[in-house]
Amino acid sequence: MMQQIDTEAEKKEILKRYRNLLKACKPTKEGKKTIRQAFDTALEAHSEMRRKSGEPYIYHPIAVAQIVAEEIGLSTTSVVAALLHDVVEDTDTTLEDIERMFGSKVATIVDGLTKISGVFDQTSSLQAENFRKMLLTLSDDVRVILIKLADRLHNMRTLDSMPREKQLKISSETKYLYSPLAHRLGLYAIKTELEDLALKYTEPEIFKSIARSLQQTKRDRNKFIGEFTDPIKEELTKQGFTFSIKGRPKSINSISSKMRKQGVPFEEIFDLFAIRIVIDSPIENEKSDCWRVYSIVTDFYHPNPDRLRDWISTPKANGYESLHTTVMGPNGKWVEVQIRSNRMDEIAEKGYAAHWKYKESTTENALDEWINRIREMLENPESNALDFIDEFKLNLFADEIFVFTPKGELRKLPSNSTSLDFAFDIHTDVGYKCIGAKVNHKLVPLSYKLKSGDQIEVITSSKQTPKEDWLNYVTTAKAKSRIKDALKEEKRKIAEDGKAMLQRKFKHLKITFNTNNVNELLAHYRIASPLDLYYRIAIGSLDVKDLKDFTHDKDNIKAKVPHPKADSHSFEQMVKNIRGSSDMLVIGDRMDKFDYKLSPCCSPIPGDDVFGFITINEGIKIHRTNCPNAIELMSNYAYRIVKARWTNQKEIAFLVGINITGIDEVGVVNNITMVISNELKVNMRSISIESNDGIFEGTIMLFVHDTDHLTMMMDKLKSVEGILTVNRIDSN
């Protein structure tokens, strides 16, 4: 029976949400009128639509506008665009209508937020194309991205009503693209929430377990924070500071990353929270006041000299300014302390959006510089959308180093940048001609990795040209794309010679040089483009004398040995066939139609949460949903993902690796093998154990039936005396 909808109650709720929105953005009288008009337009346009949860669709644009106003701090134009962001895509309202009613600025933003519709070939990624389109508008108006992040945040907050495969796809996109973007724009609160929500859906068990542990340890944590901050508060008050101190837990995602990286359980992660001291200080005294607070903190607690981060003297590229130190607190616990002014705190929370408020700050310059780099990347017509996103990501999440030119000018580069990256950062032509560099007056090769504080002088030669292996030496997107451009140009020049050679041969054999005949050669030699064909002829890897193996029929050539024509639609057909055959791939059933393999990058076993990925040449590959490659695959190739589940396969054994550490006592190896072979009746393929100064570390490869079997065995091993940790190896 259909549930009765209480339209009166819904109308009241819509009005209540609209009033809350007005409270959040505090518009002028004129602004209020425009927001009302946008709200009425959206309400009318979406009147017949409902979300997956069954709620009226209008709840979504109001919520996005609320995030834009309250959590990002944007004003009327952005709130109007947020209310209208789905109108053009989902209803009969056109972009021209929006421009007529609200002006060209709002229309441009709404256009940037409207997804590309139309037919795409199956091998391109619609998600990547949409992302690139959105970034094109970023060059004109950064508000497009900020509203898109608000849209994504609300979708992630309401992801519960979506089917599982949609949850995985949207969470993967979020982790792969949107969370790094929020980080780059300095929106730390949004970036953290996006990452936590993505973890909630990609690895629900880990998320729940950490959230539970954080809840259970909350009281102890608060008590510790109180003990830690009391003496600092007293001294700050005595010295006349106006301040606030917050103790906030680290995000669930960052705790999970630490546990994975360090291979330790929740109980052994000590820096579960950070203390933030925010002072009220005029802009001209901020720096010295922050250092005074640092001095007070370190009078009470010993700092770790390796963990001091000064982002006040040299802010991050997204404008983030703060002083971070890690000190030894009570009970032998390390505590991270962040010290900043109110202005710095607002920029840290609201990122790019806060820079309008503080026009004089460094934020604007740093972010404008970054947007100019994106503009440069977008101007490269050659790159396809997926290449573009790979290059774009290179510049998103990278930590930075600070280096100097010979004249002392400061340059910021991503960490792991090389002397060749630095040369391209100075100027493309300097990069092309670079033969080496002097770092701190010592000669170094092109591949030399720079460190913060290095001073670099580039050495050039007019005879130098870019080489293929340069791509292995560089980290920055700019250097990579410039090198690729130069190599393509070089290839084009060489291909011109190959084309001339082929034309001469055709002329000699009295064959017309036309598209049909060139296509016949491409099909026969399995070559993707005429450029590649001409290039291979020019460098001699394909001999034009082979043309005698073709028959000439009325000016058309045909290969004497027939070749199977590649069906241009075979891949798309394969995707359709698999998708059509079943919505769910069942692993373990007889697969007469399609071949599948268990992917070696994450070694899935029955019981793991998995999906199938349709490859071009190797059938279907089964990956775990928390596989290191899963996020990228689901983000960029969603149309090639198939749902998958296991059948009951007790008779089949799967190879899995576990890592063990412990105290090297006599007989410990014997105890381990006894548990595995005798108690659990599990077959081992290999065991290797290395001992070093009383501690051993070992890897065991063994056969199990499923995840329950593996978990039981790992629990048994943990109970063996002398064993410290037992972890599954995520990839071979």
Instruction: Confirm whether 90 is a catalytic residue.
Output: yes
Q: Which of 10, 70, 90, 376 is catalytic?
A: 90
Q: Collect all residues with Cβ–Cβ distance below 8 Å to 120 and sequence separation of at least 6.
A: 126, 129
CA distance 443 to 441: 7
Q: Across-strand partners of 596?
A: 620
Q: Which of 89, 234, 280, 567 is catalytic?
A: 89
Superfamily for domain range 7-202:
Hypothetical protein af1432 (1.10.3210.10)
Tokens 């060139």: give the residue: 518
pLDDT at 324: 93
Q: Across-strand partners of 439?
A: 442, 456
In contact, 343 and 358? CB cutoff 8 Å:
yes
pLDDT at 368: 59
CA distance 522 to 559: 11
pLDDT at 362: 42
pTM (two decimals): 0.66
Give the start-to-end residue ranges of the domains of the chain: 7-202, 212-360, 485-559, 570-646, 654-728
In contact, 557 and 509? CB cutoff 8 Å:
no
- Alpha helix positions (H), 434-560: 477-508, 515-525, 530-539
Tell me the fold of 212-360.
Beta Polymerase; domain 2 (3.30.460)
CA distance 690 to 696: 6
* Secondary structure letter of residue 677 according to DSSP: I
Tell me the fold of 654-728.
Alpha-Beta Plaits (3.30.70)
pLDDT at 194: 94
CA distance 87 to 313: 45
Q: ∠ CA 381-386-389 to the nearest 5 degrees?
A: 85
pLDDT at 568: 44
The mean pLDDT values, 10 residues at a time, for the chain of 732 residues are 63 86 84 88 83 84 90 84 85 83 85 61 55 60 81 91 84 83 80 93 90 88 90 94 88 87 77 88 92 94 88 81 90 88 85 55 50 56 54 58 84 87 92 91 89 88 88 86 86 87 80 79 75 82 68 64 48 58 54 66 79 77 82 75 68 76 78 76 78 82 80 84 82 50
pLDDT at 198: 92
| Burial class, 67, CB count within 10 angstroms (exposed 0-12 / middle 13-18 / buried 19+) | buried
Q: ∠ CA 245-187-13 to the nearest 5 degrees?
A: 95
pLDDT at 298: 94
CA distance 705 to 126: 38
